[in-house]
Amino acid sequence: KEFVKRNGEFTVNIALIENGNPVLGVIYIPVSKELYFTAADGKSSKKITLTSVDTTIENIFKGAKDIHPSKPTSKVKIIGSRSHNNKATKNFITEIEKHN
């Protein structure tokens, strides 16, 4: 819905699955030109800000910087879509908050 609204609040998500197992994940945020990717082993996650659509995969890998997950906290963080926020979602969040 965000793409159709042209509000910039969307991502392009791609997963490569082989024999039912995740192999590679890619997230692209067009509005900020940020590209995130990782292998399923989780040993190497990368981020790059693309400056041109006319680039090669080699240049993407060369410009990518390692990223690392934040340290876990004791609280659960819930992220949802503004366009898909309905009563069931609100009820689910309320239940999670009771136990958080």
Neighbours of 24 (CB within 10 A): 13
pLDDT at 55: 76
Extract the residue ranges of the chain whose pLDDT is less than 70.
3, 54
Residue 63 identity (one-letter amino acid): G
Residue 18, pLDDT score: 92
pTM above 0.85, yes or no: no
Looking at residue 77, its pLDDT comes to 81
Name 4's Cβ contacts closer than 8 Å, sequence gap at least 6. Answer: none
Q: Could you give the number of structural domains in the chain? A: 1
pLDDT tens digits for range 30-55: 999 999 998 777 778 999 998 877 67
Tell me if 83 is assigned to some domain: no
Distance CA 94, CA 75 (A): 14
- Assign residue 43 the CATH number of its domain: 3.30.540.10
In this prediction, residue 91 carries a pLDDT of: 92
As given in the structure block, the two tokens for residue 91 are 């009820």
As a whole number of angstroms, the distance between CA 38 and CA 55 comes to 19
Look up residue 33 and give its two tokens: 């030109």
